Amino acid sequence: MKTFKLKLVECTSYFFILLFCYAAISKMIDFENFQVQIGQSPLLSAYAGAISYGVIICEILIVIFLSTRKSRSIGLYSSTALMSAFTMYIFLILNYSDFVPCSCGGILESLGWTEHLVFNLLCVILGITAVFIADNNTGFSKLSITALLFLSNVLCCFLVYILYINSEEIIKQDNNFTRRYLMHPIIEKKISSLDNPYYYIAGADDKNIYLGNIKFPQQILVIDSAMVIKKKINIELDIKEFPYRKLETKVAGKYYYIYDGTVPIIKRGLLSSSKPQTISLNDAYFSQLDVINNYNSFVLRTQSSKTKNLLIASLRTGLQKNKVELWPSFLRKQTDGVFDSDGALSVDSENGNIIYTYRYRNEFIVADSTFKVKQRLNTIDTVSIAQIKLIELEGSKYKLKAPPLNVNGFSTVHRGLLFNQSYLKGKYESTKRFKNSKVVDVYKTDSKLYIGSLYLENRNDTAVNDIITTDQFLYAIAGKQLIQYQLNQPLLKYLK
């Protein structure tokens, strides 16, 4: 029996030697990729540099300790503690991360995060068993062994947790600005239940709100201001006619538009008709589109065929030949011209102003319907430079080295007011409230005026993902719910 126990300790030691030796060597061989994986972690990206070196050093030291009988006990304690730290990290990823990144590579590449968690737990149990057997033979009491194991494992788990908390502070919340929350700017009025969670807002007017659907792109759901579903418009479209990949719909005035910028094609139809007509084909590829108020003019976000930078373009239809014009000075490049210029495009239907809100920096652009930039204004946070880390690939292509700092999310504009969702928490704000809501900041688009902010609460743990405003209401979608909010005086007084 004693021989079996000693053999178990030896086999466990050889297993950890093999595991950590392979892990350390594979990380060193592809060190840049390993740093990128750590940098893309939503929990530890603020410490990617130090952790990438620290993990390799720890693994090499553990291999050295396990290789000799005199230090084997230290190696087993260290192996168990390090596997506990990895287990804690995976637990945080699965339960508290904004997103779950790709799993690690190497010998365990085929395992998902849950399988990794089980594997690590088994390694911890194996390590604890080996420690008890090894230290019992050296005269240590069970109480002493238990205390050392508890302290080393808990300390390592606590260290991972502290790194996670501090990384969250550095990446998301160290942003020295203060919001002004308005007194009852909106009041919830009614809720309409939707049959699936794939809806987005395609348009609205004083009488109706129009919802497109990601899963059923040829369908528009019409809901009136009393929050009663009126009808579904089923658009007749031959999906075999073109290689459609990203069909979207938009409603403006009496028309709906169904389009796919990857074809590229734009079709238009009356809301009273299910048969749209093609008004643009192969004029310009685009990733975003909005309608300017004469219904024959469009603003597009496209990409330069030469520089690959994101560009704003205008498209006019209804002429003898459709006219496309590029506006290369509209967006301003900071680093790569793609990731740093990403953002949300919208049009104020009341005055035709074009608004572009950058995703990764505190700026939005206001231009008139002739594409003349009137103002470049700032949101209230302090991120003026997009915090993006890139790796250059072959062919002048880039990929993200670490998750970028999201600054702005969805937005909508109406009568000179921009409603902009912010990802950043200001000073003195409740962390719990911030996590359970979407914060929307409201700005004037004709002056440097921040009006104030409001909360849009999560619904059944589902966050709001799209909004639109009319003269009376703000509408929001959260999962399978469409929520109608009444606009109150703190906001109404600013609507032109």
pLDDT (tens digit, 9 = 90+) per residue, 314-326? 999 987 889 999 9
Residues 18 and 78 in one domain: yes
Residues 56 and 135 in one domain: yes
Residues 44 and 167 in one domain: yes
User: Partners of 422 in the beta sheet?
Assistant: 408, 439
In a domain, 290, yes or no: yes
User: What's the count of helices (H) and strands (E) in the chain, helices before strands?
Assistant: 8, 26
Residues 192 and 147 in one domain: no
Residues 201 and 137 in one domain: no
In a domain, 133, yes or no: yes
What H or E segment, with its residue span, contains residue 380? none
Strands of 363-367's sheet in order across: 343-347, 354-358, 363-367, 373-378
In a domain, 211, yes or no: yes
* Region for residue 200 given its phi and psi (left: phi exceeds 0; alpha: psi -120 to 50; beta: otherwise): beta
Residues 190 and 155 in one domain: no
* Chunked mean pLDDT (size 10), the chain, 496 residues: 76 91 88 71 70 90 90 90 91 71 53 83 91 71 82 90 74 64 92 96 95 96 95 94 95 96 97 95 97 89 93 92 95 92 95 96 96 95 89 72 90 97 86 92 93 93 96 97 96 88
Residues 473 and 419 in one domain: yes
Amino acid (1-letter code) at residue 135: D
pLDDT of residue 80: 92
**Crossing angle (nearest 10°) for helices 72-96 and 48-66:** 150
In a domain, 113, yes or no: yes
In a domain, 447, yes or no: yes
Coil, strand or helix: which one is 371? coil
Residues 284 and 239 in one domain: yes
- Going by the DSSP 8-state scheme, the letter that residue 110 receives in this structure is T
User: Partners of 249 in the beta sheet?
Assistant: 258
Coil, strand or helix: which one is 459? strand
Residue 320 structure tokens: 């003898």
pLDDT of residue 189: 96
Q: 210: domain CATH number?
A: 2.120.10.30
Domain residues for 57? 2-173
Residue 401 structure tokens: 């080295």
Residues 327 and 447 in one domain: yes
Amino acid (1-letter code) at residue 455: Y
Residues 169 and 190 in one domain: no
Which of 138, 173, 208 terminates a domain? The answer is: 173
pLDDT of residue 70: 85
In a domain, 284, yes or no: yes
Which of 147, 173, 199 terminates a domain? The answer is: 173
**Crossing angle (nearest 10°) for helices 72-96 and 113-136:** 150
Residues 208 and 155 in one domain: no
pLDDT of residue 140: 67
Predicted model pTM: 0.71
What b-and-e string marks burial along 54-75, b requiring 16 or more CB atoms within 10 Å of the CB? ebbebbbbbbebbeeeeebbeb
In a domain, 160, yes or no: yes
Give the whole-number percent of the chain exceeding pLDDT 90: 59
In a domain, 181, yes or no: no
Residues 168 and 190 in one domain: no
Q: Which of 341, 354, 356 is nearest to 310 (CA)?
A: 341
Matching residue, tokens 């094609």: 265
Residue 368 structure tokens: 């008139």
Tell me the residue ranges of DSSP E strands in 166-321.
Answer: 186-193, 199-204, 208-213, 219-224, 229-234, 248-252, 255-260, 265-270, 277-281, 288-292, 297-303, 310-316
Q: CA–CA separation, 68 vs 477, rounded Å?
A: 62
Which of 173, 207, 223 terminates a domain? The answer is: 173
The total number of structural domains in the chain stands at 2
